[in-house]
Amino acid sequence: MYDLLWLIPFFPFLSAILLVVLGSRMPRAVNGAIGAGSIGLSAIITIIIGINFLTSPPEGHSYTQVLWSWIDVGNFTPAISFHLDALSLVMIFVITFVGFLIHLYSTEYMIKDEGYARFFAYMNLFVGAMLVLVLGDNLVLLLLGWEGVGLCSYLLIGFWYKKPENGYAARKAFVVTRVGDIAMLIGIFLLFMHTGTIHIQQILDMAPRIWVEGATIPVAASLLLLGGALGKSAQVPLQVWLPDAMAGPTPTSALIHAATMVTAGVYLIARTHVIFELAPAVMTIVAVIGLVTALIAGFTALTQTDIKRVLAYSTISQIGYMFLALGVGAFAAGMFHFMTHAFFKALLFLGAGAIIHALHEEQNMFRMGGIRKDMPVTFWTFLIGCASLAAIPLVTSGFYSKELILWKSFSSQLGSVWFYIFGALGAFITAVYTFRMVFLVFYGEKKTEISHLPGTRILLTLVVLAFFSTVAGFIELPHTMGDFTLFSNFMASVLPSVPVLEYSLGTEFLLQLIATLLVAVGIYIAYVLYVKNPEAVNNLTASPAGQGVYTFWSIGWGFDWLYDKVFVQPVIFISRINKQDFIDSIYHGIAFATEVLHRLFTKTQTGKVRWYAMVLVAGAIIVITLAVLL
């Protein structure tokens, strides 16, 4: 059964090629069927393999399938081979399953677009590359998927290529993530140099034997890998590309944010966690970066007016939580939040897409409002997604995964009470901006008329995702609610559980209560500010201090401005100067000097015998004089 593994990435690639070659000659229905069907097939195989894995796990809880030898020079022997274990199984399940739903949704959502086949080709390629990324058993194959994902994000963000700003956003995403990739590339070189192998499992087996905790190489290697992860997962300081990535079609955003791309960094760290564990200082850096990102993005989300940008910043913020989990060693908790987040974030983006479509492509939340009666399914499913994002207790999956992270950030050996405090603060902000969005979009008076209601495929997708956004949390319950740890048990073969300090159930319950109260207060504040008393917001932002803070937050804390001054302008400057290549002027100089000499000497060729005789005599005199003098 496991030998079907290669088919999972194969179908998306095959269908991408089919769509590129034949797409323009086939009717839309066929294009859509191929595009979505291929991912569906992959999802079915994934589920079959997954069931197999759960009922009769392979030896050592992992299975490797070698397809062919890729490069073979000395001991540098990466193969095209896939590695299946609990970690990659969870990843491919989310990628294919959520990916399929997004594709299904797109068959309806994109139907009027002239680039229908091209869209599905890119989307399939995206899914295929992501699958290779998580299945690759060596760092080079992982890099292939990694760069492939970057390429597809570029293609999809710039999908509507006629608008220059879309092209700009696409290039920004590609270049910024590639900056991180260079760090990762060097990290791979370093690991290869010191372990003599490029196979991930071998490196992980070898690492604890050849390095002690805190040694230079694992610290350097994990920092470099982290650089790659920060780029792909849009964490501070490389988060700037993600908000602009909204330029792509909405299903693309759903794919980037939920199933592919931004989770790649989380996966990378989880996959190479052994190396990170040998570098405790780097672990702390991961946690701090995650927390800082979660807060910065949260505050920024508070001030956005574009519904997709709010969601984009919420993704950055939620990935920050995943990094926090990774940083305190709670790898399984990070993966758990990845999974629940995939469901509810895909749901939110697809819901936002349905709303935007319904309101004449309006994306500004302040021009929406009052549509909950007209779009009940969209409203309820969107509300379920928002509840999960805001971590409303008991009934949402987001609650269980976020609580787990907050608890681990406090109780883990690598944790700290400060992590908990700022994490809880982040949860509070999340509740505020999430429900700000709900109230602005669905409540109040109607500001834009609805022109087009979503059809069955869109609504079906939303309902399925809403279902999973609710139930996916029940596979891992905290100690205070039954201590049911199906997910982390399943992950234990790859991601060992963190050593935690002993705390009483009472402490855990208290912390959960605090976080829950914060969420409730956050929702109430959003209600007061955006439903009950909208004047209050205006007053707040009208004051000079409020205005300053508002502007600072709304431009994403000035990172774009800073990078423009520090990186973009200098690059443009450098490319402007020396367009003509000054080195060439050296050769032109030589040519010019030759020509001048040539002219000079032709002047002496006058044809006048008297003149020649004169020069002859003068020359003779000079020679004789020199001979006498010397």
Partner 1 sequence: MTLLWLLLLPIVGGLLAWVSGKTGTQLPRWISVLALALVFGLTLQVWFQYYSEIDIFTEQAWLIEFERDWIPQLGISFYLALDGLSLLLIALTAFLGLISVVVSWKEIQYRVGFFHFNLLWILAGIIGVFIALDLFLFFFFWEMMLIPMYFLIIIWGHEDKRYAAIKFFLFTQASGLMMLVAILALYFVHGNATGVYTFNYNDLLGTDISASVAMWIMLGFFIAFGVKLPAVPVHTWLPDAHTQAPTAGSVVLAGLLLKTGAYGLIRFVVPLFPEAATQFAFIAMILGVVSILYGAKLAFAQTDFKRLVAYTSVSHMGFVLLGIFAWNDLALQGAVVVIIAHGLSTGALFILAGGIQERIHTRDMDRMGGMWSTVPRMGTVAMFFAMASLGLPGLGNFVGEFLVLIGTFMENILLTVIAAVGIVAATIYSIWIIQRIFHGEPRETWEMPDLNIREMVVMVAMMLALLWIGLYPKPILNTAKPALDILQRGVEEVRMVEQTPVPDPRNEMQIFMSINQLHKSDH
Residue 427 near residue 514, CB atoms below 8 Å: no
Examine residue 73 and tell whether it contacts partner 1 (CB under 8 A).
yes
Candidate list 182, 521, 542, 622; residue touching partner 1; CB under 8 A: 182
Nearer to partner 1, 50 or 115 (CB): 115
- Nearest approach, Cβ of 588 to partner 1 (angstroms)? 9
What is the C-alpha separation between 301 and 330, in angstroms, rounded? 26
| Alpha carbon 611 to chain centroid, angstroms | 83
Residue 159 near residue 252, CB atoms below 8 Å: yes
- Nearest approach, Cβ of 198 to partner 1 (angstroms)? 9
Examine residue 68 and tell whether it contacts partner 1 (CB under 8 A).
yes
Nearer to partner 1, 125 or 494 (CB): 125
What is the C-alpha separation between 426 and 424, in angstroms, rounded? 5
Interface pattern 273-292 for partner 1 (x via CB under 8 A):
--------------------
> Interface with partner 1 by CB under 8 A: which range of 65-73, 266-274, 319-327, 436-444?
65-73
Examine residue 486 and tell whether it contacts partner 1 (CB under 8 A).
no
Examine residue 209 and tell whether it contacts partner 1 (CB under 8 A).
no
- Nearest approach, Cβ of 557 to partner 1 (angstroms)? 24
| Number of residues forming the site for partner 1 (CB under 8 A) | 53
Beta-bridge partner residues of 476: 485
CB burial class (10 A; 0-12, 13-18, 19+) of residue 168?
A: middle
Residue 153 near residue 256, CB atoms below 8 Å: yes
CB burial class (10 A; 0-12, 13-18, 19+) of residue 528?
A: middle
The residue type at 324: L
Token match 């996966």: residue? 267
> Interface with partner 1 by CB under 8 A: which range of 46-54, 172-180, 242-250, 457-465?
172-180
Examine residue 171 and tell whether it contacts partner 1 (CB under 8 A).
yes
Peptide bond into 78 cis (omega under 30): no
Candidate list 506, 584, 608, 627; residue touching partner 1; CB under 8 A: 584
- Nearest approach, Cβ of 627 to partner 1 (angstroms)? 34
Give the CA count within 13 Å in the CB-facing half-sphere of 460.
Answer: 13
Candidate list 104, 123, 143, 384; residue touching partner 1; CB under 8 A: 143
Nearer to partner 1, 150 or 522 (CB): 150
End-to-end CA distance of the chain: 100
- Nearest approach, Cβ of 210 to partner 1 (angstroms)? 13
> Interface with partner 1 by CB under 8 A: which range of 29-37, 353-361, 436-444, 570-578?
570-578
Examine residue 164 and tell whether it contacts partner 1 (CB under 8 A).
yes
Nearer to partner 1, 171 or 372 (CB): 171
Candidate list 2, 44, 57, 147; residue touching partner 1; CB under 8 A: 147
- Nearest approach, Cβ of 575 to partner 1 (angstroms)? 4
Candidate list 32, 158, 249, 369; residue touching partner 1; CB under 8 A: 158
Report residue 62: phi and psi, to 5°: -150, 155
What is the C-alpha separation between 27 and 149, in angstroms, rounded? 27
Candidate list 7, 175, 453, 500; residue touching partner 1; CB under 8 A: 175
- Nearest approach, Cβ of 132 to partner 1 (angstroms)? 9
> Interface with partner 1 by CB under 8 A: which range of 44-52, 456-464, 479-487, 574-582?
574-582
What is the C-alpha separation between 162 and 481, in angstroms, rounded? 54
Nearer to partner 1, 187 or 329 (CB): 187
Please state whether 578 falls in left (phi above 0), alpha (psi between -120 and 50) or beta.
left
221-250 burial string, b = 16+ CB within 10 Å, else e? bbbbbbbbbbbbbbbbebbbbbbbbbbbbb
What is the C-alpha separation between 400 and 341, in angstroms, rounded? 11
Examine residue 162 and tell whether it contacts partner 1 (CB under 8 A).
yes
What is the C-alpha separation between 516 and 514, in angstroms, rounded? 5
Please state whether 73 falls in left (phi above 0), alpha (psi between -120 and 50) or beta.
beta
Nearer to partner 1, 198 or 441 (CB): 198
Report residue 429: phi and psi, to 5°: -60, -40
Examine residue 25 and tell whether it contacts partner 1 (CB under 8 A).
no
Two structure tokens written together for 500:
């935690």
Examine residue 578 and tell whether it contacts partner 1 (CB under 8 A).
yes
Site residues for partner 1 per CB under 8 A: 20, 24, 68-76, 80, 140, 143-144, 146-148, 151, 154-155, 158, 161-162, 164, 167, 170-171, 174-175, 178-179, 181-182, 185-186, 188-190, 192-193, 196, 571, 574-576, 578-579, 581, 583-584, 586-587
